[in-house]
Amino acid sequence: MAIKTIHVEVNAGRGRIRLEEYLFDTFPGLSRMYIRDVIKSENCEVNGRVENKGKPIKTGDFLEIRLDLDRETAMRPELIPLEILFEDSELLVVNKPAGMLVHPTHRDKNGTMLNALVFHLNHADPDKAIRPGLVHRLDKETSGLVVVAKNVRSHRLLARQFQRKSVEKKYLALVDGLVSANSGKIEAPIGRFAERKIWDVKEGAKPSVTTFRVLERRKDTTLLELEPITGRTNQLRIHCASIGHPIVGDEQRGGQAFRRLCLHAFFLGFRHPTNQTPVEFSYPSPDEFSISAQTKL
């Protein structure tokens, strides 16, 4: 086993952030599960002390992290077709298909978007060893736009925008039933039910807000534009179900059966890390959204 020890001084401007979240943002390409393992196995110290994943850290704290290089570099490059909407020297924007994981997990080490990006970024010149850096995620079942950093500096600057909630993210969702209001705001706290191992509306949990706008009403479904103001786990699915209009394909929350979840991240707006110029990317709803309006497959 090859161990690499890394010393990090928490960057100014980050404020207070949980240890797990800081490591997740700071080390592009490492999965959340791996980061949790590093912390749980006492391979991460904060100011010389072993802490748990929820430890708040702040500017000026010193971290010592010991990484297993064999695991860190285990992400295999794979030739998997990807739809890349934009790419330059700093970042790329990918339209992730539904059914594809963003990054490897303990159970699924291959076939992910990161496996494909490692190949894409390095096949022409393997000696470059460019590691794609994630700054946000989409669920496996959700399709749509993901921005990925190509170097540490861009990763840091993009991650800061996501942390400060200055990135504009919009989704398309096809939901069951006819939504009566043309627009509105869904405010329902979301928390984890440990006994059921699910996230749902939970009294006293973290405040969660989503705005919606009706784009089209069909026979028995409604196409919505959703904008998450907060970023809770499964927030859009939970909020749609909470108002009696679950997303088509979300059978767990009462949505009609369909071959995919009808949730698509169609718009991203942020500042380019090179010159802070505002940039916007959009991608239309998948064809399946139209099919599902007419028949249940």
Q: Which residues are catalytic?
A: 139
Residue 242 · residue 215 · CB < 8 Å: no
| DSSP codes, 79-135 | ----EEEEE-SSEEEEEEPTT--SS--SS--SSSHHHHHHHHHHSS-GGG----EES
Burial class from Cβ neighbours inside 10 Å (0-12, 13-18, 19+) for residue 132 reads buried
Whose structure tokens read 């200055």?
166
Question: Which tokens hold the place of 102?
Answer: 């963003």
Contact 279/269 with Cβ under 8 angstroms?
yes
Of 190, 184, 172, which Cα lies nearest the Cα of 230? 190
